[in-house]
Amino acid sequence: MTRMEPFSDRELRDAFGRFATGVTVVTTLSPTGPLGITANSFASVSLDPPLVLWLPARGSSRFAPFTECEAFAIHIMGAAQTETSGAFVREGDLFDRLDWHAAADGTPLLDDCLARFHCATHAVHDAGDHAIVLGRVLDAEHREGEPLVFQSGRFGGFRSG
pLDDT tens-place string over residues 64-103: 999 999 999 999 999 999 999 999 999 999 999 999 999 9
CB 13 within 8 Å of CB 57: no
Q: Which residues pair with 84 in a beta bridge?
A: none
Confidence of residue 143 (pLDDT cuts 50, 70, 90): very high
Q: Write down how long the chain is.
A: 161
Answer yes or no: are the C-beta atoms of 37 and 56 closer than 8 Å: yes
Picking from 10, 8, 15, the residue whose alpha carbon sits closest to that of residue 151 is 15
* Confidence (pLDDT) at 151: 78
Q: Higher-confidence residue: 56 or 22?
A: 56
Residue 152 pLDDT = 75
Per the model's pLDDT, the better-predicted residue between 124 and 7 turns out to be 124
Q: 76: part of which helix (H) or strand (E)? A: strand 71-76
Q: Identify whether the C-beta of residue 75 lies closer than 8 Å to the C-beta of residue 52.
A: no
With CA atoms as reference, report the closest residue to 20 among 114, 160, 158: 158
Per-residue model confidence as pLDDT tens digits over 1-50: 566 677 888 888 888 777 778 899 999 999 999 999 999 899 999 999 99
